Chain A
Amino acid sequence: MDAPTDHDRPLREVAFRGGGFRHQPIRALSIGTFLALLFIWETGSRTGFISNLVLPAPSEVGTAFYDLWKSGNLWDHLSASLARLGAGWVLGTILGIATGFAIGLFSVMRASLAPLVAAIFPIPKIALLPLFIIWFGIGEGSKVGLILFGTFFPTVIATYGGIDNVDRTLIRMGQSFGLNRWEIARKILFPGALPAILSGMRITAAIGIILIVAAELIAAEKGIGAFIQMAGSLFATDQLVAGVLVLSVLGLAVNALIGLAEKHLLRWRA
């Protein structure tokens, strides 16, 4: 390096090397990508580059959806699915939160139930479908049961994980002010575990939608899953894709609802 002198020393701005690793929303690009894909797909289909056997054109899917809607079948199928999904998901979530709390609060429960939950959680519930039919019959019971079973275990794990992560000094604070166990559970542990419970709900809602298709394999006449099955067996790919689209929109809607709930219930967070 040159020996520094008072004048004649080179002047250079310090190069910027920070920044990055932070996402900015580029809304136009999100929508643009989606539209571009649709456009390529549609032109591909029209020019015969994409065979109709392989994939129906977006316009055909649109027509199929319009027919589904117009005939009133959409609502029939959707309401049947929503009823099953709602019942199974709500029951699974309530039971899951209760069980998660029991595991989070009591050593006896943790010792006995936590390993069981950990063992059953990873098995694909679809594999148990025949068992559900034997247990609950081919009516609504087995369908709701499958979704309940599928959403219960992740909820348990999310709940007691959330409770375990509540700052212990807050519990000690509660004790130091003479709060009883029930008050500590209700006023400190539950709100503290709520972020984890809500992100668990995001996951179980998706699991519920995945399982509804499987559940409606069981002798169902109505339901989006049943509609997709039917379309699939007839190779009516336009209807099939329309049905899948409905599920995707359902998933997005549920996600948005949970997002709203988070925004309201967790407004104390930054």
Chain B
Amino acid sequence: MELKIDALTHSYDDLAVLDDINLDIRAGEILCLVGPSGCGKSTLLRLIGGLERPTTGRVIQIGEPPEDSLNPLTFIFQDFALLPWRTVHGNVSLPLESHLHDVPRREAVIADVLERTRLSEFRDAYPRQISGGMKQRVAIARALAVRPAILLMDEPLSALDAQTRELLMEDLVDLWQRERFTAVYVTHNLEEAVRLGHRIAVLSRRPGRIRKILDVPDDLENRDILKPGLASIRADLWQQLHDEAREADRQLTR
């Protein structure tokens, strides 16, 4: 399953947030969306995921999701969005409860996904007991449990400290190597974009337009941000963003 974003424009009342977005989301690739804060990245992701209706334009689904996909478009949120009154197990169980009524099968799925994300030993912990990095791993496990066709990640590492972020980036690379998932990855962090993106779309300040789409040719597993190739892509991104970010910083919200 793939997605095509077709001439999408969005405004909140009279605040234009996104302007004429055209974008393809291709199977098996991580598409990074970078742009200055407030440019409409989260809005775009919500529109892609069907949580909001675009003012004009459409998000088109090409092909069917795999048979076994329980929730084809699945979000991973910046602030984890875990239910504090459910344990790690309970949180992963939540979306499965509406789809898998057979309890032994559901438990098997949960056990498997906790194993794959190396969370088995935290099964009975409450969110308040685990670190931010662990919380986001739980959210990733919860997302994987419903076998998404496309992951929609909204700054998934932005609430974490630099070292944890580094570790989770490695985890995500590992995960992609194994599962070849499709993802739209929103970030304001160029490092993350360069490390994780197969393509990187740069958005302008609000109203967000697509300024440029960059291809990153290297394999995910051996990307070294210090190597000249990636460093020049990063420099190119910053070049694109610098003035936009400066101007965006001076924009009034309303």
Mutual binders A and B: yes
Bound-complex Cα distance A179 to B71 (A): 10
**Shortest Cβ gap from A198 to chain B (Å):** 13
A269 x B128 contact (CB < 8 A): yes
Smallest Cβ-Cβ distance to B95: which chain A residue: A177
Cβ of B94 < 8 Å from any Cβ of A? Answer: yes
Cβ of A30 < 8 Å from any Cβ of B? Answer: no
Cβ of B185 < 8 Å from any Cβ of A? Answer: no
Q: Interface with B: A79-87, A147-155, A166-174, A233-241, which one?
A: A166-174
Count A-B pairs with CB separation below 8 Å. Answer: 55
If A170-B81, A170-B83, A268-B85 touch, does A177 touch B126 (CB 8 Å cutoff)?
Answer: no
Q: Mark B34-56, 1 if CB is under 8 A from A, else 0.
A: 00000000000000010100000
**Shortest Cβ gap from A264 to chain B (Å):** 12
Cβ of A187 < 8 Å from any Cβ of B? Answer: yes
Which single member of A173, A179, A183, A269 contacts B84 (CB below 8 Å)? A269
Smallest Cβ-Cβ distance to A266: which chain B residue: B85
Interface size class on chain A is 20 to 34
Set of chain A residues within 8 Å of B83, measured between Cβ atoms: 170, 187-188, 191
If A173-B77, A269-B128, A270-B128 touch, does A178 touch B85 (CB 8 Å cutoff)?
Answer: no
Contacting B at CB under 8 A, from A172-195, are 172-180, 183, 187-188, 191-192, 194
Smallest Cβ-Cβ distance to A169: which chain B residue: B81
Which single member of B74, B79, B97, B98 contacts A176 (CB below 8 Å)? B74
A177 x B77 contact (CB < 8 A): no
Bound-complex Cα distance A169 to B78 (A): 10
Which single member of B49, B86, B95, B126 contacts A179 (CB below 8 Å)? B95
Which single member of A170, A172, A177 contacts B71 (CB below 8 Å)? A177
**Shortest Cβ gap from A52 to chain B (Å):** 55
Chain B interface residue count, CB cutoff 8 Å, equals 22
Which applies to chain B's interface (DSSP): helix, strand, loop or mixed? loop
A169 x B128 contact (CB < 8 A): no
B51 x A183 contact (CB < 8 A): no
Bound-complex Cα distance A79 to B97 (A): 44
Cβ of B241 < 8 Å from any Cβ of A? Answer: no
Bound-complex Cα distance A175 to B99 (A): 14
Set of chain B residues within 8 Å of A191, measured between Cβ atoms: 83, 85
Bound-complex Cα distance A194 to B84 (A): 12
Cβ of B114 < 8 Å from any Cβ of A? Answer: no
B128 x A268 contact (CB < 8 A): yes
Contacting B at CB under 8 A, from A225-270, are 266, 268-270
Which residues of B approach A to under 8 Å, CB–CB?
49, 51, 71, 73-75, 77, 79, 81, 83-86, 94-95, 97-99, 126-128, 146
Would you give 13 A-B contacts (Cβ < 8 Å), ordered by A? A169-B79, A176-B71, A177-B74, A177-B94, A178-B99, A187-B83, A187-B94, A191-B85, A268-B84, A268-B86, A268-B127, A269-B84, A270-B128
9 closest pairs, A vs B, by CB?
A177-B95, A173-B81, A176-B75, A268-B85, A191-B85, A268-B126, A169-B81, A178-B71, A268-B84
Q: A176-B71, A268-B126 are in contact. List 18 more A-B contacts (CB 8 A).
A: A167-B81, A169-B79, A169-B81, A170-B83, A172-B51, A172-B75, A173-B75, A173-B77, A176-B51, A177-B95, A178-B95, A179-B95, A188-B83, A191-B83, A194-B85, A268-B86, A268-B127, A269-B128
